[in-house]
Chains A and B, each alone.
Chain A
Amino acid sequence: MRNSVLPRNRPVEIRALERRADWIRLETIRLVEIAKSGHYSSVFSCAEMFAALYYSALRLKPSDPHWGDRDRFLLGKGHAAIGQYPVLADLGYFPTDWLDSYTRLGSPLGDHPDMNKVPGIDFSSGSIGHNLSVGVGMALSARMRGKDYLTWVMIGDGELAEGQVWEAAMAAGHYKLSNLIGIVDANGMGLDGDTQDVMGVEPVAGKFEAFGWSVDEIDGHNMGAVLAAFARAQKQDRPHMIVARTKKGKGVSFMERDPYWHLGFLGPADKAAAVAEIEARITQ
């Protein structure tokens, strides 16, 4: 296992990946408990996609995080890193006990991911709107140097209000970067409520198509649909955007579609209820 490359599109049972997604939700609840504040619902909306990326789609080498031929994954919506850390630890990028230090003084693990402190993080993020451009740079570099790695960038739908996203979209279309795959975690909510009410970003798919991308629109919580979309994404002749329709807070019924949980803290009773609901699904 050590020193081995995890190849692309590893065959994994859908049910196993669904359990992984719920495990990511449980780990997120556990880590928020340490910080006493955290972005539960931003992870819950993309938990299935984190699971499908890290446990199947991406070509990785956890024993050598800087391996030049690894697929890159950038998290433009960096505030969801709390859901990425347990996965990286589980894959062996860093010791699992690092997780217990989450956000405490001097910890490598902050609310937003730091590439120089956290093995497995391909680029730092936190300032919404930058990472699609960074991904364009990584994809250009692969083409210039004849490398076959893929660059994946996950952004939020609220992030689409940032102008730099469209500068990057235009450049990716201009350079026909078929080695660049975007995912919009379209969970429909930002801090202040419904994305579409705060700043109308729709039609998302049509916009990316107009910028020269191929676009897929899927249910981001349907693991079969996610895996199929990830496979299609790797066979395009231009940059490809997956618009994943998701629910903010998905997986815990009382947290779904409630903007309060964008940045919140579960009290003991709520936490027990949330954990019970998720665990019931895992053991089903």
Chain B
Amino acid sequence: MTVSVPDPASWNIQTSLAKLTGLTMADELIAMARERPDIVVMTADLSTSNGLDEFQRALPDRFINTGIAEQNMMSIAAGLASTGMIPYVSTFAAFASLLCAEQLRTDLAYTKMKVRILAHHAGISMGFYGTSHHAVEDIAVTRAMGNMTVVSAADGNAIRGLLRATLDVDGPVYIRIGRGAEKTVYEDKPIFEHGRFVTLRDGTDATLIATGVGVRAAIDAAALLEGEGLSVRVLDAVYLKPLDEAAILAAAAETGAILTVEEHNPYGGLGSAVADVIACSGRAVRFAKHALPDDYVLVAPPTHLYRHYGLTGEGVAQALKKALAK
């Protein structure tokens, strides 16, 4: 009998999963589910991609796989939640937010169901799988739904912190998660405060408000710019709804310049949300958005895409200097 071993150079699911130490949902959810009998975990034939097969092995009676039927999964979760259970539903962010937009709105948000959507492989982290698998509209879609809480994890520890922080939030929570290969932002599991950004670095000349994979890039940019004499504040927009308006207005008042950084279409994402707050405050501040183009991105491995679209320390540093020179 021959055993097929994937070539180490391949980027298939097996070899890439071995590197995805940042997909921390399974560990945390196993611990949470052991404490809370109302937690169930669901997926639509993606448990070996998101690592939740580990949850299935640990707690098989609390795991539901609906097959490739994401809309059905969302509505089944609604039924489970209506009886007092807390379903954690997992699928690619593109399918969770776009294919299932109506189930999220009508069956989960309108009805205030305590369902948590583990929207993994968000942004362009699916790389060369292409546009069908990219989620660069999901912040816009989910923020526009009443009763929906929207959060975004910068790394594996942030995922753990967010799972804990949102456990008892009323109504549905959309948890935006990358592919699990994000560089570390938080050395330990952080304790997040509901609706508050996290100040990762203080500064006086400008503020980078970043979310998801943009957070590490913003930290790296701030370090680079320090060498050029610029003092840059870095905020992790871990909560996208509710939004930390106080932190945004403080950044505007105290640093005079804001650049938002996100792996999303330029319309309706973090940048638009921050711009809303600034415009409605009636105060003037230098402001720019660093997002993906309003287009469908190229195919490439994810790290190549991040370099190409400037979601790196160098890319963000350049964008900030350009914004300050305007």
Contact = CB atoms under 8 A, between A and B. Distances in A.
B75 A141 contact: no
A116 B112 contact: yes
A136 interface: yes
Interface stretch (B103-111, B126-134, B282-290): B103-111
A126 B107 CA distance: 10
Interface stretch (A97-105, A165-173, A235-243): A165-173
B112 A137 contact: no
A124 B106 contact: yes
Contact of A124 (B77, B81, B110): B110
A204 interface: no
Interface in B35-91: 40, 61-62, 64, 66-67, 69, 71-72, 74-85, 87
B102 A142 contact: no
Contact of A141 (B71, B74, B79): B79
Q: What band does the interface of chain B fall in when counting residues whose beta carbon is under 8 Å from A?
A: 20 to 34
Contacts of B61: 144
B82 A168 contact: no
B111 A164 contact: no
A265 interface: no
A138 interface: yes
B82 A123 contact: yes
B111 A137 contact: no
Interface stretch (A127-135, A190-198, A226-234): A127-135
B75 to A, nearest CB: 3
B79 A140 contact: yes
B111 A133 contact: no
Given A137-B76, A141-B80, A130 B103 contact: yes
Contact of A140 (B80, B102, B107): B80
Interface in A115-171: 115-116, 122-124, 126-127, 130-131, 133-142, 144-145, 147, 151, 164, 167-168, 170-171
Contacts, number: 93
A164 B72 contact: yes
Which of B67, B74, B78 has the largest number of chain A CB atoms within 10 A? Answer: B78
A137 B80 contact: yes
B111 A171 contact: no
A196 B160 CA distance: 51
Contact of B82 (A130, A138, A144, A167): A138
A122 B106 contact: no
A126 B105 CA distance: 12
Contacts of A151: 79
Given A116-B112, A167-B69, A167-B71, A134 B83 contact: no
Contacts of B107: 124, 130, 134
Interface residue SS majority, chain A: helix
A133 B112 contact: no
Given A115-B111, A116-B112, A123-B111, A141 B83 contact: yes
A19 B36 CA distance: 48
A68 interface: yes
Nearest to B111: A124
A109 B103 CA distance: 22
Given A133-B72, A170-B69, A171-B69, A123 B106 contact: no
A123 B83 CA distance: 11
Interface in B114-172: none
B102 A133 contact: no
A127 B102 contact: yes
B79 A138 contact: yes
A257 B75 CA distance: 33
A137 B106 contact: no
Contact of B111 (A116, A140, A141, A145): A116
A137 B76 CA distance: 4
A209 to B, nearest CB: 20
Interface string B209-233: 0000000000000000000000000
Interface string A216-231: 0000000000000000
Contact of B79 (A126, A136, A170): A136
Most buried by B among A68, A139, A171: A171
B79 A123 contact: yes
A171 B82 contact: no
Contact of A144 (B40, B74, B102, B112): B40
B111 A130 contact: no
A135 B72 contact: no
Contacts of B106: 124, 126-127, 130
Contact of B75 (A116, A144, A168, A170): A168
A134 to B, nearest CB: 4
Nearest to B66: A171
- Interface-centre pick from A130, A137, A144 (highest chain B CB count, 10 A): A137
Contact of A137 (B71, B78, B110): B78
10 contacts: A115-B82, A116-B112, A126-B106, A133-B74, A133-B79, A145-B85, A164-B72, A164-B75, A167-B71, A168-B72
